[in-house]
Chains A and B, each alone.
Chain A
Amino acid sequence: MPNISQRAILLRTFRNNKTSAVGVLMTLMVVAVALIAPWISPYDPISQDMNVQHAPPSWVHPFGTDSYGRDQLSRILWGSRVSLVVGILSVLFAMAAGIPLGMIGGYKGGKIDNLVLRFIDVFMSFPIVILGLLVLAIMGPGLIKIVIAIGVALTPRIARLARGSTLSVKGKEFIEAARAVGQNDGKIMIIHVLPNILGDILVMGTLWVATAIIVEASLSFIGLGVRPPTPSWGAMIRDGLDQLTNAPWLSIFPGLAIFVSVFSFNLIADGLRDISDPKLRG
């Protein structure tokens, strides 16, 4: 475990890292939008008004209206909720499944490790979107199911990282010391291994949230997202695609929203990686 002064240095480096700072700020804004969407949305995101179909951006409807005359801005603001909830929950799901798996494989070694490695290889052979699509095709659409589908697709990736980090911690003296005083494996993994590998995993965590947001958007673009009329960015782009020639704003604004959220998480991840790899610092 890094001692206090090391932590202080890391914290200071993080604060001084402009990339991360901008990323944190942008992410907080996206999260704030999701939280206060009901109060800042100018219109009801699902109420239709057939008199203003495909209205171009204007002062009344800053991002225009869609084929049902629904206000695009309001739908985008509300849509942030689906993206963030799925993005964060699916990564938590994958961590809950992947960390124990990788840790046990790395710590126990031998046959168990081989089994874990095989599992990782099998599931890594599916591109994330394709595994997510397969799981959703079986279970049918719905918010919780999307979380499970993306979580399952991310699990082997997190397990692989957890396994690698565990291997590098395993040989350290404090683990041997714990074993020497007779602590059992489960206790050693939870008390000694987990806190030491969590740092690596959290650094990558922001990157995975970004990935999960893109995958959610992709799946709802394909039509496997939350059920309409609940607004989600991917589905909005798909609905807008048919109108690309006469109403391009229907695809452009929701896409921008996806990009901004993913970009802010990636900024944090980028900064964190610079910090955790001191050779690249500066």
Chain B
Amino acid sequence: MGCPYLSWERRMLKYTIRRMIYVLPTLWAVVTFVFFLIRIVPGGPAVAALGSYATEESIRELEKQMGLDKPILVQYATFLKDLCRGDLGKSLITKKPVSSQIAQALPYTLDLTIGGMLIGIALGVPIGIMTALKRNRSPDYIGRILSLVGISMPEFYLGILLMYILAIKLDLFPVLGGGDLHNLSSRLHHLFLPALTLGIIMTAFISRMVRSSMLNVLREDYVRTARAKGLRERVVIYKHALRNALIPTVTVIGIYMSILMGGSVLTEIIFSRPGLGKMMVFAVKDRDYIALQSVIIIFSAFVFLFNLLTDLLYSLIDPRIEYH
């Protein structure tokens, strides 16, 4: 239902709040699910972290340190309370606060996912338009086959191939590491290959999406009208068709960000980037369930955040959307 008497900003704000009211309980359910799932580890997180050779005493001590000896509902209440204050608990292995570890790792993962998305948009949108305009001619076939190749390629395999060719054989980029965050050129230099890996895969997804929505739009009456009016083809395509074709693409960017977040885990492992994905896999290997729990919560929080931003962006570019 539209609210025609409210100003644009007010309506936007109202819409955002409405979305938040829906998102927050879902986020709470996610957090709760992860919390209880982690606690059903055979023997409990402390036993898992210390291994089966640990003494009874050391297990008790670690459980006491971590508050794992209290009743589960008390643990849950403490956990929620701490979480609201931004305290994610302490790592079972390093005993350091997980939140500071996450704060260090997060920029590497955000650089990677956002970089991958930008490359995907920069390449995917033009390729999608071109294949749609040259439908059923050779550029279309080539583009479609390449995009199928892209979505069939596991990101870690593509990463290895790029690393082998561009970093090991041609020596153009560093093989491993995340670079120095405070040095822009080192940061970008280390980012390029991992971001390209995810970017190529994103290009495949985005170009397919743009192609099919472009084909749908080109059949619409308003495009025919625009042509009938005698507008130049260029104007018809870029002014009338493209804008409408991009709307469905924007709606799925949230989903694509989720694919990118998943892909970043393996890409970080390949390129030894000290991001969240690497932290998560190490947490699994060390059986550090507190760190694992926190990283997974952060990952899903970002998926929610990106979805929310996508919704807002969508309502911004499509004036037909009513904020309900």
Contact = CB atoms under 8 A, between A and B. Distances in A.
A280 B212 contact: yes
Contacts of B30: 122, 125-126
B280 A126 contact: no
Interface string B296-313: 100110011000000000
Interface string B31-48: 001100110110000000
Nearest to B40: A138
B26 interface: yes
B241 to A, nearest CB: 15
A275 interface: no
A95 to B, nearest CB: 21
A133 B292 CA distance: 10
B136 A282 contact: yes
A121 B28 CA distance: 12
B280 A133 contact: yes
Interface stretch (A63-71, A102-110, A170-178, A216-224): A216-224
Nearest to A257: B157
B106 interface: no
B168 interface: yes
B121 to A, nearest CB: 19
Contacts of B253: none
B141 to A, nearest CB: 10
B38 A138 contact: yes
A244 B160 CA distance: 8
Interface residues of A, number: 41
B296 A134 contact: yes
Contacts of B299: 126-127, 130
A255 B156 CA distance: 9
Nearest to B265: A129
B164 A130 contact: no
A241 interface: yes
Given A134-B292, A262-B154, A129 B262 contact: yes
A155 interface: no
Interface string A113-151: 000001001101111111001110110000000000000
Contacts of A262: 152-154
A12 B301 CA distance: 47
Contact of A217 (B154, B163, B216): B154
B157 A223 contact: no
Contacts of A134: 34, 37, 292, 296
B206 interface: no
- Which of A128, A129, A135 has most chain B Cβ within 10 Å? A129
Interface stretch (A31-39, A49-57, A198-206, A263-271): A263-271
A217 B263 CA distance: 13
A128 B303 CA distance: 12
A37 B262 CA distance: 32
Given A125-B26, A245-B168, A263 B280 contact: no
Nearest to A153: B262
Contacts of A126: 30, 296, 299-300, 303
A133 B284 contact: yes
B29 interface: yes
Nearest to B27: A125
Contacts of A221: 154, 156, 266, 269
Contact of A130 (B41, B157, B262): B262
Given A127-B259, A134-B37, A222-B284, A266 B152 contact: yes
Interface string B267-281: 001100000000011
A117 to B, nearest CB: 10
Given A124-B258, A138-B41, 4 more contacts: A134-B296, A217-B156, A222-B281, A266-B151
Q: Give 8 nearest A-B pairs by CB, closest first.
A: A127-B262, A255-B157, A263-B152, A262-B152, A125-B300, A129-B262, A137-B284, A122-B29
